[in-house]
Amino acid sequence: MAKRAGRLTAAAPAKSAPEPARRARTSTRKALAALSGADPVLARLIEQVGPLPDAREGRPDPENHYGALVRSITGQQLSVLAARAIYGRLTARFGERPPTPQELLDDDPEELRAAAGLSRAKVSYLRSLAEHVLSGELELERLDELGDEAVIAELVAVKGLGLWTAQMFLMFHLERPDVLPVGDLGIRRAIERAYDLPELPLPAAMEEIALPWRPHRTLACRYLWRSLQNEPG
């Protein structure tokens, strides 16, 4: 008990983490326990890597699907640092936020390219995304309601949004828990090393190795990427 102003008062309770944060930590602990119990190789990897950084750090808000896709396009085929730098220059051009679809289409493509350090191809991809959103062909507000394969089908209809980009959107923005990007070179290389394979595994072999990880393949992949220090930015 604490004494204040001449009378006893109850001591203020210690602040605790918000309920969603506690639930997320509990969910992650359970997923890690399940992965470790299902696969001894992955269990050793999880122990070696230790806690993962916050996957949402530096990314658009969970509700901002458009901003996340803009970020994905600008960062394609770039290192984490280069991707963040270019995205930063792009948002700086629009008041430290992603441009709206109309703002992007109204901007001069060559000026946008030069200001942000984008390739001409990526400028065309960003414009394609903006056009699909404005026309209603891509209904971003529906993506949360769709299954993983349906989300992929919606996204790959946009020029410049391929399978890998759609899978990264699922994993890091929509935070879908059971995604396995079998075409990702980092995942292939990490599996090759962790499982002491003679060569990079093909998709069928990766699917078989990852069977025990379900329904937590996204988390398993994050540990595999982290083992190589190359988690997508």
**How do the domains of the chain map onto residue ranges?**
65-173, 177-233
Q: What is the pLDDT of residues 7-22, one digit of tens each?
A: 333 444 444 445 555 5
Is the distance from CB of 11 to CB of 1 less than 8 angstroms? Answer: yes
Structure tokens at 32: 């890690």
Q: What is the pLDDT of residues 28-38, one digit of tens each?
A: 899 999 999 99
pLDDT over 60 (residue 156): yes
Q: What is the pLDDT of residues 110-127, one digit of tens each?
A: 999 999 999 999 999 999
Residues in the chain: 233
Q: Which residues partner with 4 through β-bridges?
A: 7
Annotation marks residue 184 as catalytic: yes
Tell me the whole-structure pTM to 2 decimals.
Answer: 0.83
Residues 177-233, CATH architecture: Orthogonal Bundle (1.10)
Residue 59 class from Cβ within 10 Å (0-12 exposed, 13-18 middle, 19+ buried)? middle
> Which fold is adopted by the domain 65-173?
Endonuclease III; domain 1 (1.10.340)
> Among 54, 106, 148, 184, which one carries the catalytic annotation?
184
Q: How confident is the model at residue 6 (pLDDT cuts 50, 70, 90)?
A: very low
Coil/strand/helix, residue 5: coil
Mean pLDDT of 173-188: 95
CA distance 169 to 146: 13
Is the distance from CB of 98 to CB of 64 less than 8 angstroms? Answer: yes
CA distance 158 to 155: 6
Residue 165 is which amino acid? T
Q: Which residues partner with 2 through β-bridges?
A: 9
